[in-house]
């Protein structure tokens, strides 16, 4: 077998996917149904793969979220917690069985032309993902951790510290990697598959390993 180079499709996509009636449907749903009912409706069609299921998931996302741009694509099995705190840009793809865990007073902003792979997980209580980010299947963001204090209390019962996570423009996050709380991944950087990112990543850097370290700059020839 030989290595092949093919033209990117999603990253250059411009043609609309959604249908005009979906926004009218979303407005009606938002005006006539409670937040709880909308969440239940989304859960009921979460796993469907028919064209109508796909269209209704788009309509419900417009009704449930703070903002949703044009042509969002939501795969089967996607789970959203506190979608009312979430903003999505244009032409976002969310792969099958991804989970985005918000918080009632949190912030989750996902930019334009972002591709999120299947089975991704986001602790999205304070998360910003800028435009053109590629997020590998199974990759995760952890945005919070327990203090562990006092030590005579079970760790899971101690307070949570929430730290903002920022994924910069055009960053590429590898399969099964983990971004820890408070990390800023710089624009145009690459996080290698399986990496555990504990510190900020410079722009154009390539990082890999556990813990992740800079192995080169993409600017180097």
- For 135, the token pair is 């997020």
Are 110 and 88 spatial neighbours (Cβ–Cβ below 8 Å)? yes
Q: To the nearest 5 percent, what fractions of the chain are helix, strand and coil?
A: 20, 30, 50
Are the beta carbons of 70 and 18 closer than 8 angstroms? yes
- Chain centroid to Cα 168, Å, comes to 13
Residues 23, 72: Cα–Cα separation, whole Å: 12
Catalytic residue among 67, 82, 146, 184: 146
Is the separation of the CB atoms in 179 and 196 below 8 Å?
no
The yes-or-no answer on residue 67 being catalytic is: no
* Catalytic residue list: 146
């Amino acid at each position: 077998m030989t290595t092949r180079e093919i033209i990117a499709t999603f990253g250059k996509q411009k043609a609309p996917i959604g249908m005009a009636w979906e926004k009218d449907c979303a407005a009606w749903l938002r005006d006539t149904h409670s937040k709880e009912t909308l969440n239940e409706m989304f859960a009921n069609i979460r796993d469907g793969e028919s064209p109508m299921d796909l269209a209704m998931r788009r309509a419900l996302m417009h009704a449930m979220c703070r903002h949703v741009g044009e042509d969002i694509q939501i795969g089967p099995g996607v789970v959203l917690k506190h979608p009312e705190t979430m903003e999505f840009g244009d032409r976002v793809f969310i792969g099958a069985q991804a989970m985005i865990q918000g918080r009632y007073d949190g912030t989750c902003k996902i930019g334009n032309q972002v591709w999120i792979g299947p089975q991704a997980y986001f602790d999205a209580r304070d998360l910003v993902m800028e435009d053109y980010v590629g997020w590998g299947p199974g990759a995760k963001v952890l945005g919070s951790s327990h203090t562990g204090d006092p030590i005579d209390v079970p760790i899971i019962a101690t307070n949570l510290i929430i730290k903002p996570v920022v994924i910069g423009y055009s960053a590429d996050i590898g399969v099964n990697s983990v971004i820890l709380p408070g990390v800023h991944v710089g624009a145009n950087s690459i996080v290698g598959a399986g990496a555990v990112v504990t510190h900020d990543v410079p722009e154009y850097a390539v990082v890999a390993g556990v813990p992740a370290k800079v192995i080169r700059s993409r600017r180097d020839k």
